[in-house]
Amino acid sequence: MPVGAREVGTGRHGTHHTMWRAGWASPLGPGPPPGGVHRRMQPGFIADDDAGALIVGRGLGPRQSERGNIVVVALIIACEVGFWVLLAIGLLLRYVAKMPKASTAVLLCEPLLELVLFVTTVIDLRNGAEPDWKHGLAAVYIGYSAALGHSTIKWVDARVAHRFFGGPPPVKPAKYGAAKTLHEWKTAGRWVLAAVIAIALLQGAIWYVGDDGEIGSLRDWQIKMLFLIGINVAIALSYTLFPKRERSASSAR
């Protein structure tokens, strides 16, 4: 048997199917003309050097891998659009249809979007897709939605109620003193929580893929999340060390 060919079956007449390259001797007949490269492939033999060409990443063909990437990106966009669509439906049910229970039920569906995105991302990796920036972005989006989704809904709800349905004006955050410092730490805490959730999901993907996989893009996202944590902590700390004070009437003059 030629070097580089692997037996996987036998022919109809008991003769092993094989693949021949230029210069190989064939028991079925004379070899190919000298100087040229010729392949005679019959089902049953796959050359070792060609087997790898049939595999992209960890078991996906190029079209399957590309399709998986498109699905992840499309689902991230769909989750973002779905978030605002569900929010709009919930607000309409609450203020127009006067159905607060139905509104609450719709708004409680928001986390299901993140769950669908998370499951789809895991399945994509499980099917052999190499992790890249899309999977990292999915983890970051899930972290943001989990940590800041509720506060975003409350922010929009208060302003829609005031502007269109005669609700009370939204409470504005404090601008000075200890109250301002507390507000900044609360805001920083939400962003830190979002980053920590994203880092945890990214680390889970790294452990799943293993050190032999392409984990560089996931590590890059983790570094970005650490940078995000640092920025928010620094901002909150600045208001602690240098609290913003309201100007007195005399100094304003």
Query: Distance (Å, rounded) from C-alpha 187 to C-alpha 179?
Result: 12
40-89 per-position pLDDT tens digit: 444 444 444 444 433 344 444 555 556 656 788 888 899 989 999 999 99
- 15 pLDDT tier (thresholds 50, 70, 90): very low
Structure confidence at residue 180 (pLDDT): 93
Look up the pTM and report it. 0.69
Report the share of the chain in percent with pLDDT over 90. 40
Structure confidence at residue 20 (pLDDT): 37
Q: Judge whether 252 lies within some domain.
A: no
Same domain, 39 and 154: no
Structure confidence at residue 64 (pLDDT): 56
Q: Into how many domains does the chain fold?
A: 2
- Domain boundary among the residues 34, 54, 74 is at 54
- In the chain, alpha helices (H): 48-51, 62-95, 100-107, 110-126, 133-164, 177-209, 216-241, 249-252
Same domain, 144 and 35: no
Same domain, 134 and 112: yes
Same domain, 162 and 227: yes
Query: Distance (Å, rounded) from C-alpha 73 to C-alpha 79?
Result: 10
- 22 pLDDT tier (thresholds 50, 70, 90): very low
